[in-house]
């Protein structure tokens, strides 16, 4: 039983392309997040949604657009990909804000 | 602004050695504190958490952490490490906001 799942696991693409990463949780949690982990393993929050509403938008370029069709899904769409977008993107969920997070397996994005 | 410091960037130990990883945060109010572990190639998993009560918290796999409010610290300890503890360890703090702020991580290598 996968609690938080992400697809794809690996994504290799050219600069300038548009790509999406999907995330689903089957834990019944109200809150979902996107975190970016850079090459030095530093984790930084990008967005959080609570019950489909955007709660946190952490000064992320507007090329990144999250979408939450329902509280079990939080997708991340990235326009005009740049080299600096290469990272591992983790989706996470929690029962409510400030609760411990359950993380997905991550999506390794490589922009060439 | 809130920040989390992990001063040990890379720790190398032999099996059966004792472990202590430092974590300090900058916030004077109520905090929720967490340690997460990321095994090679895997997603982050919660090791332990502190919300309130006994400042000595026990987690999974024999790990524990002590919250010392006067020192703004939440150090992680294990009396005897195993090779399987080789991983990246992240301290994280939620300081009465909706954001979980992570430290820069400590890479632990345990040699048999």
CA distance B100 to A56: 11
CA distance B59 to B73: 17
CB A9 within 8 A of CB A108: yes
**What is the average pLDDT across A98-105?**
90
- Taking only the tens place, the pLDDT of each residue in B93-112 is 988 777 889 999 999 999 99
Give Cβ neighbours of residue B54 (< 8 Å, ≥ 6 apart). none
Reported for A65-68, long-range contacts at CB under 8 A and 24+ positions apart, including other chains, are A66/A34, A68/A32
- Taking only the tens place, the pLDDT of each residue in A39-77 is 888 899 999 998 888 888 887 899 999 999 999 999 999
Q: Give me the phi and psi of B26, to 5 degrees please.
A: -120, 95
Nearest to A97 by CA among A42, A30, A20: A30
Inform me whether the pLDDT recorded for B72 exceeds 80: yes
More confident residue, A88 or B28: A88
Closest-CA distance, A102 to chain B, in angstroms, reads 7
Q: Give me the phi and psi of B63, to 5 degrees please.
A: -85, 150
| A interface residues, B as partner, C-beta within 8 Å | 4, 40-45, 48, 55-56, 58, 90, 92, 97-98, 100-106
pLDDT band at A1 (very low <50, low <70, confident <90, very high): low
- Taking only the tens place, the pLDDT of each residue in B54-64 is 999 999 999 99
Strands (E), A14-86: 19-25, 31-37, 43-50, 53-57, 64-70, 73-78
Contact residues on chain B for A49, CB-CB shorter than 8 A? none
């Amino acid at each position: 039983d996968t609690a938080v799942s992400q697809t794809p696991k690996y994504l290799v693409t050219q600069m300038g392309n548009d790509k999406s990463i999907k995330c689903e949780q089957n834990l019944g949690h109200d809150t979902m997040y996107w975190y970016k982990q850079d090459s030095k393993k530093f984790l930084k929050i990008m967005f959080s949604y609570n019950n489909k509403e955007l709660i946190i938008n952490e000064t992320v370029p507007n090329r990144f657009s999250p979408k939450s069709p329902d509280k079990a899904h939080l997708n991340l769409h990235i326009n005009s990909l740049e080299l600096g977008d290469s990272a591992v993107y983790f989706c996470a969920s929690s029962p409510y804000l400030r609760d411990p997070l359950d993380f997905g397996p991550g999506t390794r994005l490589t922009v060439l | 602004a809130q920040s989390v410091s992990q001063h040990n960037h890379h720790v190398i130990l032999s099996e059966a050695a004792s472990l202590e990883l430092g974590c300090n945060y900058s916030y004077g109010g109520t905090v929720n504190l967490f340690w997460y572990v990321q095994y090679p190639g895997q997603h982050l998993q919660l090791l332990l958490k502190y919300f309130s009560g006994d400042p000595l918290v026990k987690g999974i796999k024999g790990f524990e952490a002590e919250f010392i409010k006067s020192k703004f610290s939440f150090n992680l300890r294990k009396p005897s490490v195993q090779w399987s503890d080789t991983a990246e360890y992240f301290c994280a703090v939620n300081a009465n906001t909706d954001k979980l702020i992570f430290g820069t991580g400590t890479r632990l290598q345990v040699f048999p």
